[in-house]
Amino acid sequence: MIGLSSSFAGNSDRTAICEKTDARELIARIANSIYLEEEDKLSEAEIKLFRQLGEIYFEYVSVENNRFILTISREEFVQKGLSEVFYDILQEDMANNNDWIANDSLAQEIDWDEAHQDSRKYFQERRRMESQELLRDIYPIIINDTTGCNYNTPGWGESLGTVSFYTNRTWTVGTQTWSDAVTATACQREIFSGGVSDNLNADCRSNPDFPGDLFSWCAVVRFADVLCPYPWRVPTARDFIDLDMGMGGSGSNRDATTSDIATPQFVMDNFITRWGGALGGASHPSSGVLYLQDLGAYWSQSQDVGEADSSGFALHVSASGYVYPHSSGNKTFGFSVRCVR
């Protein structure tokens, strides 16, 4: 049986055929175990491989005029950490499907674009359910609860002023669409606003040279519908897990010392370039903005029941390569806000 770490290298046609056969058998065995709900028989590497192939299929395969089209190059495929043997298998299967559709009258009666979209929705829903189970296993979650907020925000906010997105640009990852960072005129200052003289403003501050402003978790929850007006909403911790998975991550908190994808290049290519994030740091109520050019911190509206008096969940990524889709932070800290729909 072919090894997952194998490069599938070989010079002869016969070797290549054997490698491709082994790869096909591997995929079939993994798929069968998942279909029979026997994932406990699979290794973590096998499950990860199946997920990666599924994500590539539903992101880079489209249907036009009832023909399947692959939109990712061999080089891009390999750069995602997968063997080019799997790329060849995907191309061959698509060519065989297209030939079958072109020559079978019954197949031509099927709307393959609609069928492909339905399959994509099923796959994405399965991944979403997996991420929800993952999060429930790790943390008990409550959403949009202001427990523990009043103590750090005297008079704690009546207005954010005029709220807008830093730009009107949007970023799409999987089924999610994300706004640019949120900014508010009441936040254009260099200190948090939760003092006696500023008690008509929410806890927030400006973040010069970076998109958007920095908000306390309490301000985010209090003004959620203002910061992210319908159809937008403040993301949950699960949204950040789905975001990470949509870009090829595992959805778990990790750094470069783990086996999961977590490298400076992964952060720059995905969370900065593909998602439009920034390493704009975070603010402390008494220490200004910290970790500029090193940390990207984004609030969710979720919090841990066990830490309800102090912590909310957040997405943290760093220039050093760590990725924490369900990290946490003290509710008094200032993080950026992105909206999702």
Same domain, 148 and 225: yes
In the predicted model, what is the mean pLDDT of residues 164-179? 94
Mean pLDDT over 247-259 rounds to: 77
Residue 136 in any domain: the answer is no
Work out how many domains the chain is built from and give that number. Answer: 2
> pLDDT of 78-134, one tens digit each?
887 788 888 888 888 888 888 888 888 888 888 888 887 777 777 666 655 555 454
Provide the pairing of β-strand 67-70 with 61-64. antiparallel
Instruction: Indicate if 172 and 253 belong to the same structural domain.
Output: yes
Write the pLDDT tens digit of every residue in 39-51: 778 887 887 788 7
Structure tokens at 67: 């023909």
Residues 186 and 286 placed together within one structural domain of the fold: yes
Q: Would you place residue 219 in the very low, low, confident or very high pLDDT band (cuts 50, 70, 90)?
A: confident
pLDDT of residue 2: 36
Q: Give a yes or no: residue 184 inside a domain.
A: yes
pLDDT at 318 over 90: yes
Same domain, 305 and 158: yes
Tell if the pTM clears 0.85, that is, is over it. no
> Does residue 87 fall inside a structural domain?
yes
Burial of 339 (0-12, 13-18, 19+ CB in 10 A): buried
Q: In the Cβ-directed half-sphere of 141, how many Cα atoms lie within 13 Å?
A: 20
Q: Which domain holds residue 220?
A: 144-340
* Residue 5: strand, helix, or coil: coil
Q: Per the structure block, which two tokens stand in for 136?
A: 């429930």
Same domain, 68 and 177: no
Q: Which residue has the higher pLDDT, 107 or 142?
A: 107
Segment 218-227 mean pLDDT: 87
Same domain, 159 and 295: yes
Of the candidates 70, 59, 48, 207, the residue with the CA atom closest to the CA atom of residue 130 = 48
Nearest to 282 by CA among 338, 204, 222: 204
Report the range of poorest mean pLDDT among 144-148, 177-181, 265-269. Answer: 144-148
Domain assignment present for residue 119? The answer is: no
The reply to whether 253 and 322 lie within a common domain is yes
Specify the amino acid at residue 223: F
Q: Do 162 and 291 belong to one domain?
A: yes
- The predicted model gives 310-314 an average pLDDT of 86
CA–CA separation, 65 and 199 (whole Å): 60
Q: For the residues of 12-35, what is the DSSP string, one character each?
A: SHHHHHHHHHHHHHHHHHHHHHHH
DSSP 73-130: -HHHHHHTT--HHHHHHHHHHHHHHHHHHHH-HHHHTS-HHHHHHHHHHHHHHHHHHH
How far apart are the C-alpha atoms of 162 and 160, rounded to whole Å? Answer: 6
